[in-house]
């Protein structure tokens, strides 16, 4: 299956827009609500935003999720030189996984809501594990 160049550009634009929007929302939530948002709110914000923007731009969902992870990886590497490379690689892998969950849920149940819920649940689990075992 080949993806048209327009789809690649739409995914790139959608991922940058979603990353900028979620960065703002996540920072505000973290400031006002504390670190618990990393596990419970950030996954909802990111999955709903990535998926919604991809759908609005008619961009391939999985590619948008992967590009979002890449944008987040660049941010991680730019802001945390010591840990940014590992965090960035985990970001790309994680967001690809969450995107696959969205696409799989959509394909199996013909419902973007079920797909998004699958991505959100997987993202919550991922962030919970990272916060418990990786971030010290």
| The pTM of the whole model exceeds 0.85 | yes
* C-alpha to C-alpha distance for 24 and 18, rounded to whole angstroms: 10
Tens digit of each residue's pLDDT (9 = 90 or more) over 60-117:
999 999 999 999 999 999 999 898 999 999 999 999 999 999 999 999 999 999 999 9
Q: Are 94 and 129 in contact (CB under 8 A)?
A: no
Higher pLDDT: 128 or 134? It is: 128
Structure tokens at 71: 């944008």
| pLDDT confidence of residue 134 | 81
pLDDT at 41 over 90: yes
pLDDT band at 52 (very low <50, low <70, confident <90, very high): very high
pLDDT at 56 over 90: yes
pLDDT band at 1 (very low <50, low <70, confident <90, very high): low
What's the whole-number mean pLDDT along residues 33-52?
97
Q: What does residue 91 show for φ and ψ, rounded to 5 degrees?
A: -65, -50
Q: Are 98 and 119 in contact (CB under 8 A)?
A: yes
| pLDDT confidence of residue 103 | 98
Structure tokens at 136: 């010290």
| pLDDT confidence of residue 3 | 85
| pLDDT confidence of residue 136 | 63
Work out the mean pLDDT of the chain and round it to a whole number.
95
């Amino acid at each position: 299956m080949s993806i048209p160049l327009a789809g690649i550009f739409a995914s790139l634009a959608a991922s940058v827009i979603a990353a900028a929007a979620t960065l703002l929302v996540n920072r505000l939530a973290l400031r006002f609500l504390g670190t618990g948002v990393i596990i419970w709110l950030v996954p909802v914000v990111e999955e709903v935003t990535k998926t919604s923007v991809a759908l609005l731009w008619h961009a391939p969902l999985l590619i948008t999720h992967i590009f979002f992870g890449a944008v987040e990886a660049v941010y991680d590497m730019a802001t945390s030189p010591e840990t940014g490379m590992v965090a960035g690689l985990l970001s790309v892998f994680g967001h690809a996984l969450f995107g696959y969950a969205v696409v799989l849920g959509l394909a199996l149940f013909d419902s973007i809501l079920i797909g998004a819920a699958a991505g959100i649940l997987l993202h919550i689990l991922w962030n919970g594990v990272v916060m418990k075992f990786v971030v010290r």
